[in-house]
Chain A
Amino acid sequence: MTDEEAEIELEVLPTLEETDRFWSLIEDAWATQSDDAKAARAALIARQPGEELDDQVAIVDDALDGVMDNLRAVFEFEGCPQSELVAMDRVLERALYAIDRSDIQAVTDGSDDGFLYARGFIVAMGKAFYSAVLLDPAMAICDAECETMCYLPAHIHSDRFGGSFPETGSQISRESGNNGDGWAAAE
Chain B
Amino acid sequence: MGSSLHQLYAEYVRGDEAVVEVLHDALLERGERPFPAEGDASVRIERVMACLPTAMQRAIGCASVRRVLGDHGRAFPDVAQALALLERGEPNDESRHAVFAAWRACSDGVKPEAARVIWAVWMLLREMPSIALRTVRMLDDRELAIQIELVAGALDG
Contacts and interface: CB of A to CB of B under 8 A. Distances in A.
Given A24-B96, A73-B107, A79-B119, A32 B101 contact: yes
A34 to B, nearest CB: 13
Interface residues of B, number: 19
Interface stretch (B25-33, B131-139, B145-153): B131-139
Interface string A12-47: 000001000100110111011000000000000000
B116 interface: yes
B97 A77 contact: no
A73 B128 CA distance: 18
Interface string B11-31: 000000000000000000000
A28 B100 contact: yes
A4 interface: no
A interface residue count range (under 10 / 10 to 19 / 20 to 34 / 35 or more): 10 to 19
Contact of B93 (A27, A79, A84): A27
- Interface residues of chain B: helix, strand, loop or mixed (majority): helix
A108 interface: no
A31 B135 contact: no
Contact of A78 (B96, B128, B138): B138
A163 interface: no
A169 interface: no
Nearest to B112: A78
A90 to B, nearest CB: 16
A70 interface: yes
Contacts of A27: 93, 97
B104 A79 contact: no
A81 interface: yes
Contact of A24 (B116, B119, B126): B126
B43 to A, nearest CB: 13
Q: Which 5 A-B pairs have the closest CB atoms?
A: A31-B97, A28-B100, A79-B135, A79-B119, A32-B101
20 contacts: A21-B126, A21-B127, A24-B93, A24-B126, A27-B93, A28-B96, A28-B97, A28-B100, A31-B100, A32-B97, A32-B100, A32-B104, A70-B100, A73-B104, A77-B115, A77-B119, A79-B116, A79-B120, A79-B123, A84-B128
